[in-house]
Structure 1
Amino acid sequence: MKSIHFSPSCIVWLVLLLIIGFGRQAVYADSAAEIDQKVKVGLADLYAGSPTALEFSKVAKGILVFPDVVKAGLVIGGQFGEGALLVDGATVGYYNTVAASYGLQVGAQSFGYAMFLMTDEALSYLQKSSGWEVGVGPTIVVVDKGKAGSLTTSTAKEDIYAFFFDQKGLMAGLGLQGSKISKITPD
């Protein structure tokens, strides 16, 4: 059996092709109507799979939803997505999330996430910041399926709870640390 060897430049090109393939929608900014539609579909998917997220939506001060985040990397990686902030079910602003990373990583994936802002302070912090680096500011808890089963709105004491949904692709690990969230003005 022959083994195939790839040069470093060949691997870089392969990763770039993966990024383009998974993230071609990220190259072109979505319109406000497109973002709103993706947010609506993303939240419906999340609520169908997580009764806890549905319960949180009823008491959250705001919900920041990124329905289609693209992440790819080979040692050096990045992610990008656009979303909307909902207050009382209505869109009050549009945001993007961008992150870069390095380390042992390879692959590409897309996923969505929703951040339930449970306090007025967390909502105000997001709306007043000129760019929010996740991990600095309000306290965030990432909720996995196991934790979601035991979490209720009466036991939730943190500022923000993040739920992931609709994961596709091959790349280990989901996280928000180091992501920068900034307000945008789509067409």
Structure 2
Amino acid sequence: MTATTLLQRRGLLMGLGASFGLAACANGIGSTGGATIDARVDATRDYLYNRYPGTRDLAMKAVGILYMPLITEAGFGFGAGFGQGALRINDITVDYYSATRATVGFQIGAQQYAHALFFMTEQALGEFRQNHGWAVGADARYALPDQGGSIGKESTENAPVVALVFGQSGLIAGATLAGIKYTRIIP
């Protein structure tokens, strides 16, 4: 192994560690209880419905909604993100989840945002609950303070799952290949 290869590996590990550390700081990994998550989910749901009234109709048609009130991510080449939320059916919490996101590609910065997954069919909801909810995608993303109120819709109108990203703050730029894993947790 050459010295250059060893330095590249160390740089990679340090970058991943720093990115995950930054993402974890604002989310209180390990310290969030069910009551705290539910309070954050309530506030996120209310914000979503008040800021984007059309989401109320979407929620009424959904068989379940996963609210992730705060995802914090940071990256410099390699990035990571983390958040916790709750799956609600008929507006009652049935499970708690953590979301872990990993990215690789040209990127720099940090951001926080919320997202909600609206499960429009029983089949989609069942598959998510049984399969640990991996979602993978390629995206070009950004969050700028002056455009933080924008809302993204990662789906078509007839899709079994509609993903809404909202409440962005921070500054991150780049194009990445990303994966996010939702894991059921016991707070």
TM tier, shorter chain?
Answer: 0.7 to 0.9
Return the alpha-carbon distance in structure 2 between the equivalents of residues 67 and 174 of structure 1: 24
Return the alpha-carbon distance in structure 1 between the equivalents of residues 177 and 57 of structure 2: 22
> Which AA in structure 2 matches 1:164?
V
Query: 1:81 maps to which residue?
Result: 83
The 1:135–1:100 alpha-carbon spacing in structure 2 relative to 1, beyond 3 Å, is closer
Return the alpha-carbon distance in structure 2 between the equivalents of residues 79 and 53 of structure 1: 25
Q: Which has the higher strand share?
A: 2
How far the C-alpha of 1:59 sits from its partner, in A, is 1.2
Query: 1:68 maps to which residue?
Result: 70
Q: Could you state the TM-score of these two structures normalised by the residue count of structure 1?
A: 0.75
Gapped runs of 5+ residues in structure 2? Answer: 1-10, 138-149
Moved over 6 A (4+): 173-176
Query: 2:185 maps to which residue?
Result: 184
Please report the RMSD computed on the Cα atoms of aligned residues, expressed in angstroms: 3.2
How far the C-alpha of 1:23 sits from its partner, in A, is 2.8
Which of 89, 94, 97 matches 2:96? 94
Return the alpha-carbon distance in structure 1 between the equivalents of residues 182 and 20 of structure 2: 24
Query: 2:120 maps to which residue?
Result: 118
Return the alpha-carbon distance in structure 2 between the equivalents of residues 35 and 172 of structure 1: 29
Q: Secondary structure at the match of 1:36?
A: helix
CA deviation digits over 1:96-147, x for unaligned, max 9?
1111111111111111000000000011112222x221149xxxxxxx7486
Query: 1:156 maps to which residue?
Result: 157
- Count residues with an aligned counterpart: 163
The 1:65–1:146 alpha-carbon spacing in structure 2 relative to 1, beyond 3 Å, is closer
The 1:183–1:72 alpha-carbon spacing in structure 2 relative to 1, beyond 3 Å, is same
